[in-house]
């Protein structure tokens, strides 16, 4: 199946791995890219020195296109973007910040840039800045989606921008891909579906609970990590969504975050905090800590994990290749079958 996205990035299938913190690691990124999709690595919890080695590792695992995601409001976001540019990452995906300088520098070596957006205004701005494509994240998506569902947001943005669109939020099969193409997208991005695959290194407990979770068992809240997002509605997530961060917890979490991303204290205080504020950044650190508990240890009581609403439709554990090829085959059959319905 050829679309503007497959042509733009030189990939076989219009299916993208969402850049998920701690989950979209080199092994999974390479598995998706090797299967004909586009793998995106999330750099949010890594220092610039670590990221340089990770980009080299991904290059050793695949000779196919891949992307590096950088979250610009997060500590080391700018530095990780600079590392990605220096290492000539084939594609850079930026979010939550102004990325015109990334676009300009990537284009000098032939790289491509995708901007992740959740609003019409941000989509138009990304196109004006020269982004090669955008990821449009709907309200259904895991983690940081917007307030508007994809059924409304996607076609609206498709009427306002001319660049290729990747739609994220609510996808796991060929019906979703066919619908996204009809609404104006050129590809789909999936997070929760790729979590429940054989190549994903997330703890087995997460995969097992995902295959039992219903569509209604997610929560959308800014209380988990400081930004509005969707999470599996276990006891810990519900507690975090309805509580305020204490100053003691904020101090502990901030210090842990500084160590994790290898950021000097002065930069954390005078750089990132100018953009976000102490409380919000501390909540981000607490959310990352809770996420680690469930991803690494499978602690479903004390950890949190992002699940999109589509989790209620996922009931098997295939390989990435099987998922992608099945989705594309289903979409092609559905598109052909539509002609018989009208």
Alpha-carbon distance of 310 to 140, in angstroms, equals 8
Give the chain's length. 342
Instruction: Return the pLDDT at 265.
Output: 44
Convert the pLDDT of each residue in 179-228 to its tens digit: 999 999 999 999 999 999 999 999 999 999 999 999 999 999 988 877 88
Residues 6+ apart with CB under 8 A from 266: none
Alpha-carbon distance of 169 to 42, in angstroms, equals 17
| Structure-token pair, residue 316 | 């098997």
User: pTM surpassing 0.85?
Assistant: yes
Convert the pLDDT of each residue in 255-274 to its tens digit: 555 555 555 544 444 444 44
Q: Higher-confidence residue: 249 or 121? A: 121
Could you give the 3-state DSSP secondary structure of residue 262? coil
**Residue whose structure tokens are 């390479």:** 30
| Structure-token pair, residue 319 | 């390989």
Convert the pLDDT of each residue in 329-339 to its tens digit: 999 999 999 98
Alpha-carbon distance of 185 to 189, in angstroms, equals 10
Backbone angles phi, psi at 87, to 5 degrees: -85, 0
Could you give the 3-state DSSP secondary structure of residue 56? helix
Alpha-carbon distance of 34 to 17, in angstroms, equals 12
Crossing angle of the two packed helices 150-160 and 120-129, in degrees rounded to 10: 30
Alpha-carbon distance of 54 to 32, in angstroms, equals 16
In the chain, what are the domains? 4-202+318-341 (3.20.20.70), 218-297 (no CATH)
Give me the residues paired with residue 41 across strands. 68
Name the percent of the chain lying above pLDDT 90: 72
Lowest mean pLDDT among 6-10, 13-17, 121-125, 142-146: 142-146
């Amino acid at each position: 199946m050829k679309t503007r996205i497959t042509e733009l990035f030189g990939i076989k299938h219009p299916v993208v791995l969402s850049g998920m913190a701690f989950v979209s690691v080199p092994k999974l990124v390479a598995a998706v890219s090797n299967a004909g999709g586009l793998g995106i690595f999330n750099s949010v919890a890594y220092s610039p020195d670590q990221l340089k080695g990770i980009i080299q590792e991904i290059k050793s695992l695949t000779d196919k296109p891949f992307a590096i995601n950088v979250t610009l409001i997060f500590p080391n976001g700018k530095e990780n973007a600079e590392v990605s540019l220096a290492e000539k990452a084939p594609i850079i995906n930026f979010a939550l910040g102004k990325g015109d300088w990334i676009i300009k520098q990537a284009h000098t070596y032939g790289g491509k840039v995708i901007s992740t957006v959740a609003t019409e205004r941000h989509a138009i701005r990304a196109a004006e800045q020269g982004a090669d494509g955008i990821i449009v994240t709907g309200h259904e998506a895991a983690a940081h989606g917007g307030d508007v569902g994809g059924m409304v947001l996607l076609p609206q943005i498709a009427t306002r921008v001319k660049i290729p669109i990747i739609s994220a939020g609510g996808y796991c099969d060929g019906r979703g891909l066919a619908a996204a193409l009809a609404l104006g997208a050129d590809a789909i991005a999936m997070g929760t579906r790729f979590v429940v695959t054989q190549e994903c290194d997330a703890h087995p407990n997460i995969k097992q609970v995902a295959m039992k979770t219903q569509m209604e068992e997610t929560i959308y809240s800014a209380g988990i990590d400081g930004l509005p997002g969707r999470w599996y509605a276990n006891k810990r997530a519900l507690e975090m969504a309805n509580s305020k961060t204490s100053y003691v917890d904020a101090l502990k979490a901030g210090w842990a975050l500084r160590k994790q991303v290898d950021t000097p204290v002065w930069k954390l205080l005078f750089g990132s905090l100018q953009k976000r504020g102490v409380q919000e950044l501390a909540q981000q650190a607490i959310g990352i800590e809770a996420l680690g508990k469930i991803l690494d240890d499978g602690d479903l009581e004390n950890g949190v994990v992002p699940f999109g609403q589509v989790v209620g439709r996922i009931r098997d554990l295939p390989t990435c290749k099987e998922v992608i090829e099945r989705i594309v085959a289903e979409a092609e059959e559905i598109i052909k079958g539509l002609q018989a319905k009208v």
